[in-house]
Amino acid sequence: MIIDFRLRPATRGFLNMHIFRNQERIARWSGNLGMTPPPSAKTGDMALMLKEMEEAGVTMGVVPGRQANAFMGNVPNDDIVEIVKEWPDKFIGVAGIDPTNPTAAIAEIERVVENGPLCAVGMEPGVLSNPMYADDRRIYPVYEHCASKGIPVLLMGGGGNGPDLSHSNPVIIDRVCGDFPNLTVINTHGGYPWVQQILFVAFKRPNLYLCPDMYMFNVPGVSDYVMAANTFMRDRMVFGTAYPFIGFKDGVEQFCALPFKPEVLPGLLYKNAARALKLDIAE
């Protein structure tokens, strides 16, 4: 079994996002990672994407909604709900939340997570129309609500996570995890490029999981992620492709070719993801 912890399927509102609209940008970012975009990403073909998943052995994918600026593009949570309903055995839905209005954010979490089919909350404060840092105290009521309800939170921290690198500084994630020790936090983009720093945060914060996704491929710092996955992060690191930037076949093959200890791979490929999201799935 393989769970891809971060993919954006070629359907509905995702096709309006820059990652599908701007093919030149996809090619450039993929090229920087030593990859080429998968055929389904070039055509926005959902049927082909599902075939590529199957051929790569990817069993399920975690699909996050998005509330972001106009360039990044929004994907409504109702789209995520419909995707999960249409392909219940293929996709795990995460609610994209705009935390600028905590009351409205909590109401949306109640609607689509607590009383709906989505299993977690995803926030990307650095790419909002008015960027925020993830440790902005205005967001804290949302964290408090999720912690009280046992709802995991995906925080984008790393990569293009804001107008400058300061939005990805692991100190921010450290503060959130420290202030909410009972909240499960999954750091998508794995804090890149602050690799050693985010790994130390994870070393001392047992409620932090890391999903380096696209930054596990052909960039400096990969060896540090691997070392951590073989030791203290063996139960808290997860595999992801960040499709459409990385194709499923290339992602799985290159990830599994890294020098992981054989006994940690099942955890990295699916067990840790299932634990983080509290999934009840058969192996």
Residue 160: predicted pLDDT: 82
Spell out the domain ranges in the chain: 3-276
The CATH architecture of the domain made up of 3-276 is Alpha-Beta Barrel (3.20)
pLDDT of res. 177:
98
Which H or E run includes 252?
helix 248-257
How far is 45 from 219, CA to CA, in rounded Å? 29
Supply the pLDDT for residue 282: 65
pLDDT of the residue at 283: 58
Task: Collapse the DSSP code of 33 into the 3-class scheme (helix H, G, I; strand E, B; otherwise coil) and give the result.
Answer: coil
Q: What is the pLDDT of residue 94?
A: 98
pTM: 0.95
Per-residue confidence of the chain (283 residues) as pLDDT tens digits? 999 999 999 999 888 887 787 778 888 888 999 988 899 988 889 999 999 999 999 999 999 998 877 677 789 999 999 999 999 999 999 999 999 999 999 999 999 999 999 999 999 999 898 999 999 999 999 999 999 999 999 999 888 888 999 999 999 999 999 999 999 999 999 999 999 999 999 999 999 999 999 999 999 999 999 999 999 999 999 999 999 999 999 999 999 999 999 999 999 999 999 999 999 876 5
Cβ(253)–Cβ(68) under 8 Å? Answer: no
Buried b (16+ CB within 10 A) or exposed e, 18-32: ebbeeeeebbebbee
The set of residues, in sequence order, having a beta carbon less than 8 Å from that of 164 and lying 6+ positions away, is none
Round to whole Å and give the CA distance between 111 and 91: 19
For 246, the token pair is 């990385």
At 72 the pLDDT is: 74
Query: In 33-169, which residue ranges form alpha helices assigned H by DSSP?
Result: 39-43, 46-56, 77-86, 102-109, 140-149
What pLDDT does residue 159 have?
Answer: 86
- Looking at residue 13, its pLDDT comes to 86
